[in-house]
Chains A and B, each alone.
Chain A
Amino acid sequence: NAGVMQNPRHLVRRRGQEARLRCSPMKGHSHVYWYRQLPEEGLKFMVYLQKENIIDESGMPKERFSAEFPKEGPSILRIQQVVRGDSAAYFCASSPPSLSTDTQYFGPGTRLTVL
């Protein structure tokens, strides 16, 4: 059973470009979470999605950031018009569709560098 997969592992963008980060949850998992880790800091929650629904986006910046988890395919975190401050590691986690969402399984992360 493959773990949570994220691609690309490393992404370099120039200011003003768009960044698209992909996350494929573990097989059978229908809950996806995105976190951002700035240098020397812990992970900060961004958004929680279930298939075709955004459940909690309280950690998402109001502008330029969006996320989706379509019925088919991976979850996508999209950052438009990137700025240097967006440089960070972005982690995706997934959990199974049980009543208790207590355990999240993390992917290896995408490290975004904005030049």
Chain B
Amino acid sequence: AQSVTQLDSQVPVFEEAPVELRCNYSSSVSVYLFWYVQYPNQGLQLLLKYLSGSTLVKGINGFEAEFNKSQTSFHLRKPSVHISDTAEYFCAVSDYDTNAGKSTFGDGTTLTVKP
């Protein structure tokens, strides 16, 4: 069984400040890792994903995340946030097994960027 824990339910920051959204996971098998963003009343948009290779993954909108296998973490970072980054962010994990397409999601982190 897999689980995902997003350590902060709400993260308020000021515009142009750096931000880190934390995500820890547990799994008995190798996994893929994802970060999604959800704007109000919309679906999920993929920000970035880790499949294999380099542990530092760069995504859209200036976000990046680092996979740390020993700490089972996949924290999301952005060096300078904008007002438009205000949204809900979800970390997700899915099995490396080719027959298991389902993802397990964290409960989300609400990022609020203040002027």
Contact = CB atoms under 8 A, between A and B. Distances in A.
To the question of whether A and B form a pair in one complex, the answer is: yes
Interface of A: 4, 31, 33, 35, 40-45, 48, 55-56, 59, 91, 95, 99-109, 111
Contacts of A59: 102
Nearest to A32: B101
Interface of B: 4, 6, 32, 36, 41-46, 49, 51, 90, 92, 94, 98-108
Contacts of B106: 42
Residue of B44, B103, B106, B107 ringed by the most chain A CB atoms within 10 A: B44
B98 A99 contact: yes
Nearest to B106: A42
B73 to A, nearest CB: 17
19 contacts: A31-B101, A33-B102, A33-B103, A42-B4, A42-B108, A43-B90, A43-B103, A45-B104, A48-B101, A55-B99, A55-B101, A56-B102, A101-B100, A105-B46, A106-B43, A106-B45, A108-B42, A108-B43, A109-B43
Interface centre among B43, B49, B106 (most CB of A within 10 A): B43
